[in-house]
Amino acid sequence: MADAIPCVTFHRLIDTAPLPVRADRACLGSLPIRAMRHCDAVASAAGYGWHIHAPMDFDLLWDGGQIWWHCEGLETWMPLGAAQFPHFAARFDAAAPEAVRGYAPPFLTALQEPGVVQVWTGLAARTAPGWSLLLRPLANLPRHPAFEPYEGLVEADHWFGPLFTNIRLTRTGMPIPFRQAEPLLQAQPVPQIAYSDALLSSAGATQSLEAMSEADWADYHRNVVLPNQEQDHRPGRYAAEARRRRKGGTCPFQPARTPA
């Protein structure tokens, strides 16, 4: 049996760009032990997807009007319009077919909105049919005080190109460091039906307390009331049940095992 199509395939176009790393449930070690043990919702969100890094160390500075950038090898700060990754254009043209040469994607681009920069991760990506890739700030990690990544959904099952993100700088007059060793984004696979108009428009109307059904009340009693009536009640029941469900689940992109 042929292997199933991977949900996401990343392509590394810049050689120094770190490969995507599976996001960890400890949120880079920042989650308290209590949250890791008892709050599966927080830990699962933190571990959903992959961490994406910048392809090199660089710095940005916004003076309120002009954005400047700097990296190792530049003697001075340069005004940012559109900047190529160092030496990448020649590397791209040497590898690309003739019809594509001269179209290397820029590494940094100052957009027309004040303080907004487009950053290329050095990657491209393809998703399985019907899947998109959500690029977003790292889940459950405090935001950097000097910049804020935008979120974007890329339908990479039919659009193939550089994996960009837009970043809004929120501080002026001081250098803002971006380091290759620190994750910049979280990439998460999302089925396209999950954000389709048909699905979102079909959600049921908000129900009042009086409209809750017997099944709703029974589930509430099982999930909330009974645990709090137990004399030896311990937190984390939801986390334990969620872990048990995951152990019994299968991935639709996992190849079926052939019986021995």
Does 222 or 76 have the greater pLDDT score?
A: 76
For residue range 103-141, what is the model confidence (pLDDT) as tens digits? 999 999 999 999 999 999 999 999 999 999 999 999 998
pLDDT for residue 20: 96
Unique residue bearing structure tokens 């319009």 = 81
What pLDDT does residue 198 have? 87
- φ, ψ for residue 123, nearest 5 deg: -115, 160
Looking at the predicted structure, is the pLDDT value of residue 250 above 60?
A: no
pLDDT mean over 35-60:
91
Q: What pLDDT is recorded for position 237?
A: 64
Burial code (b: 16+ CB inside 10 Å, e: under 16) for 160-170 equals eebbbbbbebe
pLDDT score recorded for residue 205: 64
| pLDDT interval class at 256 (50, 70, 90) | very low
The per-residue pLDDT for 98 is: 96
| 260 pLDDT more than 60 | no
- Can you tell me the mean pLDDT for 82-92? 96
Place of tokens 């949120």: 27
The domains located in the chain, with CATH, are 8-19+51-194 (2.70.40.10)
The more confidently predicted of residues 244 and 239 is 244
Tokens 């991760």, residue located: 121
pLDDT at position 246, please? Answer: 62
Is pLDDT of 159 > 50? yes
Helix (H) or strand (E) segment spanning residue 68? strand 67-70
- Mean pLDDT check: name the lowest of 38-42, 149-153, 178-182: 38-42
Do the strands 67-70 and 50-53 form a parallel or antiparallel pair, or are they unpaired? Answer: unpaired
Average pLDDT over residues 76-105: 96
Over residues 212-220, mean pLDDT: 88
Backbone angles phi, psi at 18, to 5 degrees: -65, 145
Strand order in the sheet with 50-53: 21-22, 50-53, 183-191, 131-136, 152-154
Kindly provide the residue ranges of all beta strands, DSSP E only, lying in 82-237, ordered along the sequence: 82-83, 108-110, 116-127, 131-136, 147-149, 152-154, 162-169, 176-178, 183-191
Rounded to the nearest integer, the mean pLDDT of the chain is 88
Q: What pLDDT sits at residue 1?
A: 40
What is the dihedral sign for C-alpha 222, 227, 231, 237? positive
Task: Give the model's pLDDT for residue 34.
Answer: 80
Predicted confidence band at 224 (pLDDT cuts at 50, 70, 90)? Answer: confident
Q: What integer is the mean pLDDT of 74-86?
A: 96
